[in-house]
Amino acid sequence: MNALDSLIEALKRLPGVGQKSAQRMAYHLLQHDRPAVHRLADALTAAVERIHHCERCHTFSETSLCSVCADATRDARLLCVVETPADQAALERTGSYRGYYFVLLGRLSPLDGVSTRQIGAAELLQRAAESGVEEVILATSFTAEGEATAHVLAEALRARGVRSTRLARGVPVGSELEFVDLGTIAHALSDRR
Using CB under 8 A as the criterion, which residues of the chain lie in contact with a second copy when the complex forms? 2-4, 6-7, 9-11, 13-16, 21, 23-31, 33-34, 36-48, 50-51, 60, 62, 84-86, 89, 105
In this complex, which beta carbon is closest to a second copy, that of residue 117 or of residue 192?
117
**Shortest distance (Å) from residue 75 CB to a second copy:** 24
**Shortest distance (Å) from residue 188 CB to a second copy:** 26
In this complex, which beta carbon is closest to a second copy, that of residue 1 or of residue 173?
1
Amino acid at 164: S
**Shortest distance (Å) from residue 190 CB to a second copy:** 32
In this complex, which beta carbon is closest to a second copy, that of residue 7 or of residue 57?
7
Alpha-carbon distance values, 73 to 4, 25, 35, 36, 53 (Å): 51, 44, 42, 39, 21
**Shortest distance (Å) from residue 115 CB to a second copy:** 17
In this complex, which beta carbon is closest to a second copy, that of residue 84 or of residue 116?
84
**Shortest distance (Å) from residue 109 CB to a second copy:** 13
Q: How far apart are CA 20 and CA 4, in angstroms?
A: 14
In this complex, which beta carbon is closest to a second copy, that of residue 13 or of residue 193?
13
